[in-house]
Amino acid sequence: MNIEERFLKYVSYDTQSDEYSNTTPSTLKQLDLAKELVKEMLEIGISDAHLDEYGIVYGTIKGNGGTGDIIGFIAHMDTSPDASGKNIKPQKITNYDGSIIELNKELGLSLNPEEFTSLKKMIGHDLITTDGTTLLGADDKAGVAIIMDFANYLYQHPEIKHNDIKIAFTPDEEVGRGTDNFNVKKFNAKYAYTVDGGDIAEYNYENFNAYSANVEITGKSIHPGNAKNKMISAINLAIEFENMLPEEKKPYYTDGYDGFNHLHHLEGNCEKATLEYIIRNHDLQLAKKQIADFERIKTYLNDKYNYEAINLDINESYLNMAEIIKENYYIIEKLQAAMKKVGIESYASPIRGGTDGARLTFMGLPCPNIGTGGENYHGPFEFVSLTMMKQAVKIITELVKE
């Protein structure tokens, strides 16, 4: 299989994860792809390829005389719960000419380079898009395909000397659990790279400090005919809570290093309401100020209505790996050199999200992120450059060469 065939095969598997599931992995269908990957790894020559009890795939490309660092490469198998990953119908655009790409005429969906400006630097590339009814799954099956194609290439080219190379594919990254059961000791790499980014020239070692906030609201439900001075609607309290948060911290006003508070789920009635937020900032102290806003609003509303109407639960999801990576900056310098060798002028960009690598870094495995050529993840406008995917294989091959 070539890299295109691998990618199209992998996106045919529905591997959507589920944040509300308590199982490991969160959806059993992720194991279908995991088992297929183990099978392919064994066929390539990765003799220790296996699937563990937590749904994580591990394997080692055995060294052939190299004595450098043992490096790892990691990608995730699941796709986002934000859009359907079932019955994906990829569309290929060969030698993209810079024009508007029609995704779905009936739905009126298209990729216009004036809106999706990354297309402007992909003229001449081969692209794969959705048909407008699902996401594509390039996040992160592009990464999976890149690593698998890289592994196959090394076994086909034994003249490339390298030490042991570690590979892992994780479930549940999209719901924040990709590394909950990752065995860093067993993986046994000095450092690793996640292959889970966007533009091939971009690399990442800064990510958000990430928290989740669950706001449970208890109202006072009274028959509306007799509600005067008695009823307190949980729905109206939810609206009041949301409106007290800083308007400028909504995601659609932010970019770069800006933090945000994102209300991603709201449900309720007069008696009970629930708001679910994600809180993000690259600066830990600013993230703590955002958390303080939630606490302040809770206290204010409970005092205003003179009972415990608001219950707030805030949990840490992951932290910014930047400080740890800076202490091991040779990992970045090695990546910069590899990208330069394949003719790519690289640049660093803060991740406006998180990767498995962020948590792995805090678990003792420094793990910056490499691009895959994918764009517009988690929805019907997602696409990937096959041209960039092939470049990614060259980059990680350079990383392991001695």
Q: Which residues are catalytic?
A: 78, 173
Angle (nearest 5°) at CA 55 between 89 and 69:
100
Instruction: Say which DSSP state 136 is in.
Output: -
Which residues participate in the annotated binding site? Answer: 76, 139, 174, 196, 378
Instruction: Say which DSSP state 138 is in.
Output: H
Residue 327, CA atoms < 13 Å, CB-side half-sphere:
9
All residues at 6 or more sequence positions from 268 whose CB lies less than 8 Å from its CB, including other chains: 217, 234, 235, 238, 274
Instruction: Say which DSSP state 251 is in.
Output: G
Q: Which amino acid is present at 347?
A: Y
How many CB atoms are located within 10 Å of the residue 213 CB?
21
Q: Which contiguous run of DSSP H or E holds residue 400?
A: helix 386-400
Q: How far apart are CA 290 and CA 320, in angstroms?
A: 16
What is the sign, positive or negative, of the torsion defined by CA atoms of 99, 370, 150, 37? negative
Q: Which contiguous run of DSSP H or E holds residue 347?
A: strand 347-348
Q: How far apart are CA 46 and CA 59, in angstroms?
A: 6
Helix (H, G, I), strand (E, B) or coil at 6: helix
Which among 80, 30, 121 has a CA at the least distance from the CA of 377?
80
Q: Which long-range contacts (CB under 8 A, 24 or more apart) does 340-348 make?
A: 341/398, 342/391, 342/394, 342/395, 342/398, 344/200, 344/201, 344/391, 344/395, 345/201, 346/201, 346/202, 346/203, 347/201, 347/202, 347/203, 348/202, 348/203, 348/204, 348/205, 348/206
Which residues participate in the annotated binding site for Zn(2+)? Answer: 76, 139, 174, 196, 378
All residues at 6 or more sequence positions from 384 whose CB lies less than 8 Å from its CB, including other chains: 7, 127, 128, 136, 138, 142, 372, 373, 374, 375
